[in-house]
Amino acid sequence: MQTKRNAGYEAWLVQIFLIATTIVVLYPIIMMAMSGFKTNAEIFGNPFALPKSLNFDNYLVIWNTTDVPRFLLNSTIVTLASVAILLVTGTMAAYAISRYRFRGSIMVSLFFLAGLMLPLRLAIIPLFIQLKFMGLIDNLLGLIFIYIAMSLPSTVFILTGFLRALPSELEDSARVDGASEFRIMVEIMVPLITPAMVIAGIYNAVPIWNDFFFPLIFIQTPEMKTLAQGLTSFFGEYSVNFGVLYAGLTLAALPVVIVFIVQSKRFIAGMTAGAIK
């Protein structure tokens, strides 16, 4: 990637364009974070000024009087559990599809791929009735299963690609060494695709974390709400307290932004994995 760096006015034009785009991207986010420290009066009076002081009142309102911390916890539980089970089951399916020749193998992989094209939210009504029947309404477990099902196709797709690329000699070698199929998978093959699993995990964790459609319908008690869903009701409650609203948005965005900044390379690889692979 290290081609020669462009010199001269062309490089300057490129930089100007990119810097302008950077401002357009970052400025609204910075304004959102800054407004979280302001009072209503400041937001109306000096919307573009820096906050007068590092005033955490709005955040305290959120922390003490709303369920936002609770929502954060629920979202974390749902996201982590979904992604963990997703990776286990997704790896199993991808492993079977990519590492074995068997009759119907193409059917099985098409079966998983078909899920990529099915917009599950259109089946929300039957899904509700079914979850109800299974006792999974108002239960984080219900959400977790839906997210796993929704994310399985892309996970299988991504992991199959990586698993196919592994040399079959490794597996043959382990077979000659006497390892069972299970052991070959767990001890030899899967450790080799951990980077791919991280990518698939991130690819699906972001939309799961951000989803508000399914919780909107399947979660009813406030204690069970997830962050994105909780925000919508929080907005109803604080509709005219702009400082608190901005603080709430900032707080909701913060965890993902921090993880993103620390792990940006993996995030980018992960989020674009489905499209590039």
7 binds other proteins (CB under 8 A): no
| Distance from C-alpha of 45 to C-alpha of 65, rounded to nearest angstrom | 26
Residue closer to other proteins (CB basis): 6 or 52: 6
Q: Exactly one of 60, 121, 164, 195 binds other proteins (CB under 8 A); which one?
A: 121
* Span 171-190, contacts to other proteins by CB under 8 A: 172-179, 181-183, 188
Q: Exactly one of 156, 198, 200, 244 binds other proteins (CB under 8 A); which one?
A: 156
Strands (E), the chain: none
Q: What track of x and - describes contact with other proteins for positions 248 through 267 (by CB under 8 A)? A: -x--xx--xx--xx--x--x
| Distance from C-alpha of 237 to C-alpha of 175, rounded to nearest angstrom | 62
118 binds other proteins (CB under 8 A): yes
Least distance in Å: CB of 219 to other proteins? 9
| Token digits of residue 179 | 């390892």
Residue closer to other proteins (CB basis): 54 or 117: 117
DSSP state of 148: H
Residue closer to other proteins (CB basis): 55 or 111: 111
Least distance in Å: CB of 131 to other proteins? 7
Are 108 and 184 in contact by the 8 Å Cβ rule? The answer is: no
Least distance in Å: CB of 105 to other proteins? 9
Chain-centroid distance of CA 73 in Å reads 15
54 binds other proteins (CB under 8 A): no
Q: Exactly one of 68, 196, 197, 245 binds other proteins (CB under 8 A); which one?
A: 245
| Token digits of residue 124 | 């929300």
- Print the SS3 string covering 186-232: HHHHHHHHHHHHHHHHHHHHHHHHHCCHHHHHHCCCHHHCCHHHHHH
| Distance from C-alpha of 91 to C-alpha of 163, rounded to nearest angstrom | 9
Residue closer to other proteins (CB basis): 106 or 170: 170
Which one, of 176, 206, 174, 204, lies nearest residue 190 by Cα? 174
* Span 67-106, contacts to other proteins by CB under 8 A: 69-70, 73-74, 77, 89-90, 92-93, 95-96, 100, 102
6 binds other proteins (CB under 8 A): yes
